[in-house]
Amino acid sequence: MMRKTAGALLFTLLFACGQADRVPGDVLPKEKMRDILLDMNVADVYGREQTDTVHIPDSIREQRVKQYYVQILQIHKVTREEFMHSYRYYEAHPDKLESVYKAMQEIVQRKKTVLDSLERVKMNALNRTDPVKKDTMRWPNKDIRKLMLP
């Protein structure tokens, strides 16, 4: 009897550990949540950093960002309710939300690495071009005195 109880307990623990990383069926998977939150962060930065020739009040900027959020959810084919339900779930499970944010950070870091390497290639190409002669007004003849009139 003791062995059966211990076996059942061990099975329950192993099953529970295997389920620890999963989310309920009505919650967006981590990868989809990661992608949506990444897009929302980009929209947030874009909406706040956008420079206009005319001063725009913060309330209008906030409205723009909210409109970007609506478009992002449409792109990902997720309703506002689905997103909010999932976001509340992840907020209630900080370990899962942290893993989503870590995955976001890894993607941003990879993109930054690619952009930095492209910038280095661009700068190296610019530095390799033939430099402009420092004195473009210099006469081809070294002895300018010969050209001077008496």
Distance CA 37, CA 30 (A): 10
Domain boundaries, the chain: 24-116
Cβ–Cβ under 8 Å, residues 127 and 120: no
Q: At what angle do helices 94-128 and 30-49 cross, to 10 degrees?
A: 60
- 52-73 average pLDDT score: 86
Distance CA 62, CA 69 (A): 11
Q: Determine if the pTM surpasses 0.85.
A: no
pLDDT at 122: 86
Cβ–Cβ under 8 Å, residues 96 and 90: yes
The yes-or-no verdict on residue 9 having pLDDT over 60 is no
Instruction: Kindly indicate the confidence band of residue 3, based on its pLDDT and cuts at 50, 70 and 90.
Output: low
The sign of the torsion formed by the CA atoms of 29, 34, 35, 39 equals: positive
Token digits of residue 17: 């550990």
- In three-state form (DSSP H/G/I as H, E/B as E, the rest C), the secondary structure along 31-80 is HHHHHHHHHHHHHHHHHHHCCCCCCCCHHHHHHHHHHHHHHHHHHCCCCH
Cβ–Cβ under 8 Å, residues 28 and 36: yes
Number of Cβ within a 10 Å radius of residue 134: 6
What is the per-residue pLDDT across 87-118, written as a single tens digit (0 to 9) for each? 999 999 999 999 999 999 999 999 999 999 99
